[in-house]
């Protein structure tokens, strides 16, 4: 019998997964809550551009059109590229638009049987064995003349039917609403972690946004954490040497990887000085080019860690020029609170006057994933005792069978990762290690890099305080030399 694979989300990861499933010969169905493909690219500012160079953000078998010559294509160009990809490989006919997945539940295997499994899905294979269960997908689908409206809008119209007094225009409702339940052999969640559930800080009473009245300036807030992004203007301005070390296969030799052999481990250790020297050289160049020290914006971590955890960002044009002229204020702080006239940073007496406060505090992707499960048992398994989601190879949960999560990790080229992971999972000869081994590996990866990249960040061995102080003194001198070298070279 033909296997059915369901994909939730028609963004970049969803399209890559759909093409892979189609190529493998399985029946594919994609549920997309919106009316178009593209995921976050369809819900962002028109001025948004890629932060990854064009050559690093493309499908392996579908190059950018010749007319796109920009290094960092625009929002519209990316959307057109994704649409052309879907049309080229005939993916659109597999996508059910305006279809909001309300919940998922695993059926066919008893709750008592699953804990006894030693292998994922009972056999260590994607589809499990002959007695494998199935995923039941509850979907709210909207169709009608106004089919460009998202399902979430249709839900509000549906509620107006039950509460007509709240919607005087209810007679203009032209949607056909239907609840659908699908049963599939394998489920791929491509719902992303950068949308829908905002990570809004909690404020004490009378210190939240409700107290703000009249404000005057925009204030970007920096929370002072060590893992906050280091912003580099012209990140790729160093040219080919930069890309050689960080964006070619050679860079994979610089870091330790899960389950690496003796030779790779030895090579990564021997090359550690090279990665450190290059990291310090790039940092010195950035310190020379931008007044980061002047404005207290030097991160507590190094550039190599920035790149291996994919936390680097690109600055807007003339960002520090605007800082110098006073149209942008930078404040590095641990906490802030709202005031009638704006925000108060840390324990300062005077508020920063603001007309609009934008909380760039990311999203709760973990809650978004958790909420899609209807079973409390699976919700508890997903989060685990540490309240974090630890996935094996940043793709599957050892205790949740026949399900994969794509697009929930970060790399310098998310598209390539979205392409290779479904191939890895759905390969006919593929077999996973034991559940216990996968759990140990997932926890180790989570500790090394939070699943942000395929390679763990190099960590120094414990040393005595005296050795550390001496090492710090030597490194400080080396950094000064590198900074002078950068100033000499680029001047």
pLDDT score, position 235: 35
Q: How far is CA 215 from CA 254, 352, 353, 356, 368, in A?
A: 49, 9, 5, 7, 33
pLDDT score, position 209: 77
- Given the DSSP bridges, would you call strands 95-96 and 27-31 parallel, antiparallel or unpaired? parallel
Q: What does pTM read for this prediction?
A: 0.75
pLDDT score, position 149: 37
CA distance 454 to 276: 19
CATH of domain 4-195+363-449: 3.50.50.60
Q: Within 10 A of 207 (CB to CB), how many other CB atoms are there? A: 16
Burial of 102 (0-12, 13-18, 19+ CB in 10 A): middle
CA distance 432 to 412: 26
Burial profile 146-178: b = 16 or more Cβ within 10 angstroms, e = fewer: beebbbeebbebeebeeeeeeeeeeeebebebe
> Start-end ranges of CATH 3.50.50.60 in the chain?
4-195+363-449
pLDDT score, position 186: 94
**Among candidates 91, 56, 284, 49, which has minimal Cα distance to 190?**
91
Q: How far is CA 390 from CA 42, 125, 243, 316, in A?
A: 29, 19, 30, 34
CA distance 108 to 103: 17
pLDDT score, position 283: 80
Query: For helices 272-289 and 465-490, what crossing angle results, to 10°?
Result: 50
pLDDT score, position 410: 67
**What is the SS3 assignment for 464?**
coil
pLDDT score, position 88: 96
Q: What is the mean pLDDT of each run of 10 residues along the chain (491 residues)?
A: 90 94 93 90 83 86 94 91 96 93 91 87 84 89 54 41 41 64 92 77 80 49 38 36 56 73 84 78 81 83 72 76 85 80 82 80 82 90 75 90 84 79 78 88 67 34 43 57 60 58
CA distance 300 to 69: 36
């Amino acid at each position: 019998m033909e296997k059915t694979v369901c994909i939730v989300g028609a963004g970049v990861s969803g399209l890559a997964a759909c093409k892979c499933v189609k190529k493998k010969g399985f029946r594919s169905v994609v549920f997309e809550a919106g009316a178009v493909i593209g995921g976050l690219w369809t819900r962002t500012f028109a001025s948004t551009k890629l932060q990854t160079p064009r050559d690093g953000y493309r499908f392996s078998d579908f190059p950018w059109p010749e007319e796109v010559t920009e290094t960092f294509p625009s929002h519209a160009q990316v959307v057109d590229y994704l649409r052309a990809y879907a049309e080229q490989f005939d993916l659109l006919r597999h996508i059910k638009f305006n279809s909001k997945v309300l919940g998922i539940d695993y059926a066919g295997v008893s709750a008592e049987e699953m804990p006894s499994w030693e292998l994922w899905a009972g056999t260590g294979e994607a589809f499990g064995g002959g007695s494998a269960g199935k995923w039941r997908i509850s979907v709210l689908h909207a169709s009608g003349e106004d089919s460009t409206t998202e399902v979430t809008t249709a839900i509000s119209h549906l509620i107006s039917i039950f509460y007509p007094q709240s919607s005087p225009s209810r007679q203009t409702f032209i949607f056909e609403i239907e609840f659908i339940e699908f049963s599939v052999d394998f489920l791929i969640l491509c719902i992303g972690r950068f949308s829908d559930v905002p990570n809004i800080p909690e404020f004490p009473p009378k210190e939240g946004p409700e107290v703000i009245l009249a404000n005057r300036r925009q204030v970007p807030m920096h929370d002072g954490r060590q893992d906050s992004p280091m912003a580099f203007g012209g990140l790729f301005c160093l040219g080919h040497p930069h890309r050689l070390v960080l964006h070619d296969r050679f860079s994979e030799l610089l870091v330790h990887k899960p389950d690496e052999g003796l030779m790779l481990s030895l090579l990564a250790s021997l090359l550690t000085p090279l990665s450190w020297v290059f990291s310090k050289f790039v940092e010195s160049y950035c310190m020379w080019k931008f007044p980061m020290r002047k404005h207290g914006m030097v991160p507590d971590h190094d550039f190599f860690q920035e790149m291996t955890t994919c936390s680097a960002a690109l600055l807007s044009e003339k960002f520090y020029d605007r800082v110098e002229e006073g149209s942008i204020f930078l404040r590095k702080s641990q906490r802030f609170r709202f005031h009638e006239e704006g925000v108060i940073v840390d324990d300062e007496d005077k508020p920063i006057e603001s007309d609009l406060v934008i909380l760039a505090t990311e999203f709760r992707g973990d809650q978004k994933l958790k909420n899609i499960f209807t079973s409390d048992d699976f919700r508890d398994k997903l989060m685990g005792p540490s309240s974090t989601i630890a996935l094996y190879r940043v793709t599957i949960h050892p205790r949740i069978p026949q399900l994969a999560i794509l697009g929930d990790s970060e790399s310098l080229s998310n598209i390539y990762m979205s392409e290779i992971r479904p191939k890895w999972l759905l390969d006919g000869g593929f077999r996973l290690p034991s559940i216990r081994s996968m759990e140990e590996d997932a926890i180790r990866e989570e500790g090394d890099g939070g699943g942000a990249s395929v390679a763990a960040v190099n960590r120094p061995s414990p040393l005595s305080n005296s050795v550390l102080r001496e090492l710090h003194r030597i490194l400080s001198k080396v950094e000064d030399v590198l900074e002078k070298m950068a100033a000499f070279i680029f001047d």
